């Protein structure tokens, strides 16, 4: 007997939203942390030059 | 461009292509399972995320052993990065499992052995990040991190084998299991191929992310060095 698949489209969308959303948030966090560290590094290097 | 940066860029491109292929296969190529419907397709990235999480925790063990043997701080950066990435993917695994469970088990959550051990594993590694922050001495922090990563890894095989050891309602799709369990299904060749590509794609994604995370850690270490230099 043929069975019709359950309508679970909403859960499918929710699942992949979580997957890609979480990965995107983590990627953005890496980029932001990198940018902040680069800024801090440049600032510290400038301070070091001034000190000399 | 340095040779190492070129290799990383190449790895990023390959990762992007394999991820795109895996996504295409999940959304278009893989057939819709005849009882569960579209939500079954969450399985491909759900398992791949769990695999990536465990890969991260395993990499942290290797880095922990390497640190204890060599005392090189770079291994501490590898361990920290691997656990951070492992945590992100283990979290994806748990949340997507819960989303899948709602229409299939008729509940968002149940304290089944697999769900319980996976939650414990996530908490064990979340505690690693929190406890690390409380240790100021970098050498002590790295030693603690290495030992914790090795001991904490006990939670990983416990989670992996929980569905094979204990009575559980979680389906065992790979390597048999109880076919009467709600949500179990037999993989068709197209499903198997999609699953395989998803695992490969997530493995590349892990390697790429780990490399970037290590570089971030190295940059952080450089900043710390500069701060110390300016203070003295």
Task: Report if residue B22 sits inside a domain.
Answer: no
Which residue segment(s) compose the domain that B97 sits in? 45-172+190-231
Within 10 angstroms of residue B107's Cβ, the number of other Cβ atoms is 9
pLDDT tens for chain A, 52 residues: list them: 567 888 999 999 999 999 999 999 999 999 999 999 999 999 999 998 888 7
Helical spans, DSSP H, in chain A:
9-51
Task: Report if residue B21 sits inside a domain.
Answer: no
| CB contact (8 A) between residue A40 and residue B223 | yes
Q: How many domains does chain B have?
A: 1
Task: Report if residue B27 sits inside a domain.
Answer: no
Task: Report if residue B200 sits inside a domain.
Answer: yes
Task: Report if residue B206 sits inside a domain.
Answer: yes
| pLDDT for residue B176 | 60
Task: Report if residue B39 sits inside a domain.
Answer: no
Task: Report if residue B65 sits inside a domain.
Answer: yes
| CB contact (8 A) between residue A16 and residue B45 | yes
pTM of the model: 0.93
Task: Report if residue B18 sits inside a domain.
Answer: no
The answer to whether the CB of B58 falls within 8 A of the CB of B159 is no
Q: What is the DSSP letter of B40?
A: G
Whole-angstrom Cα distance, residue B50 to residue B52?
5
> Chain B residues with CB inside 8 Å of A51's CB?
230
């Amino acid at each position: 007997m043929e069975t019709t698949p359950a309508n679970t489209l909403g859960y499918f969308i929710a699942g992949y939203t979580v997957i890609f959303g979480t990965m995107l948030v983590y990627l953005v966090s890496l980029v932001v942390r990198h940018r902040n560290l680069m800024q801090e590094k440049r600032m510290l290097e400038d301070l070091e030059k001034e000190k000399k | 461009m340095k040779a190492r940066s070129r290799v990383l860029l190449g790895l990023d491109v390959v990762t992007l292509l394999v991820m795109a292929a895996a996504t295409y296969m999940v959304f278009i190529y893989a057939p819709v399972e005849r009882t569960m419907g579209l939500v079954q397709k969450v399985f491909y990235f759900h398992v791949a995320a769990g695999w990536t999480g465990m890969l991260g925790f395993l990499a942290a063990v290797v880095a922990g052993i390497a640190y204890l043997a060599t005392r090189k701080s770079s291994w501490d950066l590898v361990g920290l990065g691997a656990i951070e990435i492992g945590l992100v993917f283990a979290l994806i695994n748990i949340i997507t499992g819960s989303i899948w469970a709602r229409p299939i088990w008729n509940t968002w959550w149940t304290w089944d052995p697999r769900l319980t051990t996976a939650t414990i594993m996530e908490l064990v590694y979340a505690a690693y990040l929190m406890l690390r922050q409380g240790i100021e001495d970098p050498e002590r922090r790295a030693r603690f991190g290495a030992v914790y990563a090795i001991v904490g890894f006990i939670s990983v095989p416990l989670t992996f084998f929980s569905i094979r050891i204990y009575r559980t309602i979680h389906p065992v799709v790979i390597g048999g299991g109880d076919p009467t369990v709600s949500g179990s299904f037999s993989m068709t060749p197209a499903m198997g191929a999609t699953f395989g590509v998803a695992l490969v794609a997530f493995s590349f994604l892990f390697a790429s992310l780990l490399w970037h995370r290590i570089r971030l850690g190295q940059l952080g270490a450089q900043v710390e060095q500069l701060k110390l230099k300016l203070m003295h």
